[in-house]
Each structure stands twice: as C-alpha cells, then as structure tokens.
Amino acid sequence: SDAVAELAIGLLVACDRRIADATAELRSGHWNKKKYSGARGLKGRTLGILGMGMIGRAVARRAHGLEMDVIAWSQNLTDERAAEVGAARVEKDALFANADVLSIHLILSDRSRGLVGARELGLMKPSSYLVNTSRGPIIDEAALLAALRNNEIAGAGLDVYAVEPLPADHAFRSLDNTVLTPHMGYVTHENYAAWYTQIVENIEGFVNGTPVREL
C-alpha cells in the first residue's frame, strides 16, 4: 500500500508540474520555463479519493503533508471511517465535481468495472486531473480519451490500463496531457524482498503440513 500510495502522489505532482514534459524538453536542448507557468500548485487544493481502503487511506495521509483537503467516496464508506484519516465523506457525484485531483483506489470487480465513465468525467472541472494506480478497466478508456482530447479535464496520470502492456500504438501515448508509467506502483525492492521471502515460507508450510496465509 505504501509503494502504490507514493506513486499516486508522484503522478499527482507530475501532472500538475508537467515534470515529464519538462524533462523531455530539457533533454532535447530547450529551456522554456515560462511554458509551465500554468501549474496551480497543490497546497489548498482538493484531492478526491475514490475508494478508501488501505491504499486510499495511505494516499489521504500523504496528501495532508502537501496541505491538501481530502474528500472521499466508496459505496460502504462512513463519515467516521473517512474522518480517521482526515477526509470528509461526500456523495459520488460531489467527489467528481469538487476534486482538483481524483485518485482511484478501488478493487476491480463487476461493481467497479467502468465506474468512471463519460458522465463522471463530465462532472469534473476542466482544471482537474485524474490519477489511476488501481486497475485500468475501472475507467471507460474511450470516455477518458475523449475527455483528454477535448480538454474536458486537464490531464491524467496513469499506471494501469485496460490492456497491458500498453500497446505501442495506443492513443494515450500520443497525448501531451498524460503521464504514463508501466504498472509499477507495487514495484519496489522492499515489496519484492517481502514477497519472495513469503513464497519460501508458503512452500515450507505446505510441505510441512502447516500452511500459512490461507485464503
């Protein structure tokens, strides 16, 4: 959860400050800082969290370090549960309408598949960003592409996609208002060290008749 939460915050910052574009321009020999004067900064802006599970809660805690206001919605979220991490629970439409950045942290299921569609994107501010480090099919990609192309939202930071690896000719790659990463939210040295250790423990437990981490 920590690794994914950190990437979500990183994508949020990268979208607002256009870090990827600035890096590419600098590498190509250009120096044009005025081009990036449209950044609004994050202090005092509103982060909307769609899905307040373990990762969503980790994102909320980090957002407070950036002095952002945090609102949240998920189907079973209570006011008390949201307040535990300094967030205000709102209704779903209000989440999309009021968020300056909307970060998705839902499990993919029949209930969440396609949950973010043209209607929801249409509620967002033209100055807002969408960040997804959860699962690609939660978003209607055709609707998101239309919103990005028509500048209905300011941009998107995406780590996950409906098809992975992301096809070389996918339209997301050609847009200048996207920050794209290759489903790397969980990819850290610490996570791999823990997983491989647990794999060995799981095998030993099975062989010895004392299984651990049973589902």
Q: Which residues are catalytic?
A: 135, 164, 183
State the Cα–Cα distance between residues 118 and 140, nearest whole angstrom: 7
CB 7 within 8 A of CB 14: no
Write the Ramachandran bin of 67: left for phi over 0, alpha for psi from -120 to 50, otherwise beta.
left
Rounded Cα distance between 14 and 166, Å, is 20
Count CB neighbours of 84 within 10 A. 11
Residue type, 143: A
DSSP of 81-148, one letter per residue? HHHTTT-EE--HHHHHHH-SEEEE----STTTTT-B-HHHHHHS-TT-EEEE-S-GGGB-HHHHHHHH
